[in-house]
Amino acid sequence: MAGRKDYVNSKVSDNREQIEFHVKEILKLIGEDVEREGLLDTPARVTRMYEEIFAGYEVDPREVLGVTFDEQHEELVIVRDIVYYSQCEHHMAPFYGKAHIGYLPSGKIAGLSKLARLVEAVTRKLQVQERITSQIADILDEELAPHGVMVVVEGEHLCMCARGVKKPGSKTVTSAVRGEFRSSSALRSEFLALLKQ
């Protein structure tokens, strides 16, 4: 992920020939001429893309938080506008958007870049937005044991924009709250107000 050697899905690498073969077969089945110039290298390109976009299968999201720091800061910490890209598990169509993470530390904090890496580890696999939101919140809650966590994820889904109901520009927003964010409407309001600034 950013700032170091990117993860790749080694299962894709290990099965490169089979994946390329099947991509070529799909192209044939939809009526394409797999021998035309523009498609000659497409199976290999798709396979290389799969190594990258499905790299989340190679990462334990809990481990990406890495070293945490003992810090007596007990005020709200927010990292917002973390861009993510994922693949809908229902249609294998892309969806993308922004994740916003807030937590109330209880003596332990994570490096800020680790929150972005956590989002990447959770999203780079076949997913649904609701699960992404819950997984991020649950992992932070378990690993940092904060007073509370709130995660808001916005997404634009190509399975909804480019096919089916065909509503481009529509956004899906999901949220997950843990700890004090559940019981305190003031804390939730503060988080949401800071997202709008």
Point out the annotated binding site. Answer: 88, 91, 159
Residue 22 appears among annotated catalytic residues: no
Catalytic position from the list 20, 87, 88, 120? 88
Q: Distance from CA of residue 187 to its chain's centroid? A: 25
Instruction: Indicate the annotated binding residues for Zn(2+).
Output: 88, 91, 159
Residue 73 appears among annotated catalytic residues: no
Catalytic position from the list 18, 71, 90, 142? 90
Catalytic position from the list 22, 52, 58, 159? 159
Catalytic position from the list 129, 135, 143, 161? 129
Other Cβ atoms less than 10 A from the Cβ of 187: the count is 20
Residue 161 appears among annotated catalytic residues: no
Residue 100 appears among annotated catalytic residues: no
Whether the CB-CB separation of 82 and 116 falls below 8 Å is answered with yes
For the CA atoms of the chain, what is the radius of gyration? 19
Catalytic position from the list 25, 63, 89, 130? 89
The backbone torsions φ and ψ at residue 42, rounded to the nearest 5 degrees and listed phi first, read -60, -45
Whether the CB-CB separation of 118 and 64 falls below 8 Å is answered with yes
Catalytically active residues are: 88-91, 129, 157, 159
